[in-house]
Structure 1
Amino acid sequence: MYNLRLNNYHLNPKRSNVYTPPKVSEFICGLLKDKIDKKWIIFDPCCGKRNLLEPFEKVGYPSYGIDIDQNVPADKHWDFLKDESQIFKLFRICIKKEDHKLLILCNPPFNGYGQKLGSEVWLDRIIELFGRDIPIVLFAPVGFCDNLTLQSRRWKKFKNGTYPPISSRITLPKNIFSGVVFHSEILIFNIPNLQPHYFYHEN
């Protein structure tokens, strides 16, 4: 039975300091490492403890993580939602100079942005800064693209092409995050040759 008290992201939010479980990060890396070249920079704009980046770093991908929290091991302590000029300067120059491509991994807070979901705020910002063709791996509540109305802004963004088509979805167990029971998934954009859907599993 669906429990609204447990699974409502307003009543029971995924806190901003709930980090990606390492095994989930390893699952993502295992899924993508044969699909992307080793020249690609793996960028996490809210990197926290770098859990999403570490599996890619271990197999030789260049990585870069930023975070607003001064107490986490980010490469730069920037606010991705505000520090546009710094981010543009770093990545535009770097990618152009070294012929790198960029993959953005992002597990943002799901709430705390007014009526918008955090995942929507961050996806909007990613597209604003890097365009809709950038490869993206985004954690989101299941309600991010399901159970929407015809009048929903997110529904319209998916339908009118503001958001790129979803390449694949990864279903997560609702107790995957420590200390919270919550329906969530991972959306993958602009990475070809994936199955349309995966269930997360541990090897």
Structure 2
Amino acid sequence: MTTAPRLDLPVFTAPDGLVYVDRNGVTDQTLPRWHRLNDPLAVRRRSRLRLITHLGLGMAIVATAGALGFVVVRSLWGSVDGGANLVVGLLGGCVVGLWGTLFRVLFVRPRTTPPPIVPVPAEVLLTHVATSSSVDVWRWSMAVSAEEDERRTIGYETYVERPSDVASARAARDRYAATYRAYASAAAEMGVPRRDPAVTLDVVP
């Protein structure tokens, strides 16, 4: 970690050469936290741990559903046809468990919290900010980064070529509008000018 590139901002240059802000302020613990969040080895380790956790939970769901299917069939009909009905109950429960696991993977998104250390966009570094609070600069950086990410693709997402594109274009425009409102609100809190939206919005805050 090197000295801050902007003396009026609580930011620092990390070993990867990028400028970051620590929501909790630059302290002796900032660099170790940065390594835990950004070091490739640590990132791969977390990724493997998440994969193992998901696989273990999926196997537990399938096993539990299969056992329940076995118990339900046995309690209702007992063991008939040489126990074939129990096997069917077990397999049926496993199938239900597999579908439940698939639904969880595809549609259930885990809650994520923003990292305490985030990159500082160039717009933040080039703009005179009226405050030196780490939390304010962190929030402002998050808002700018989110708007920049949306700005890269919103033009394509809102381009209507066929009537079937209207609904998806409207959804993309609404999503970008929400992101831009958050960006504009953060800019107002920081007392800095904001850039115009990337696409025409019905209501500009």
The structure having more radius of gyration, on CA atoms, is 2
Please confirm whether the aligned pair reaches a TM-score higher than 0.5, indicating the same fold.
no
Greater share of helix? 2
TM-score (norm 2): 0.27
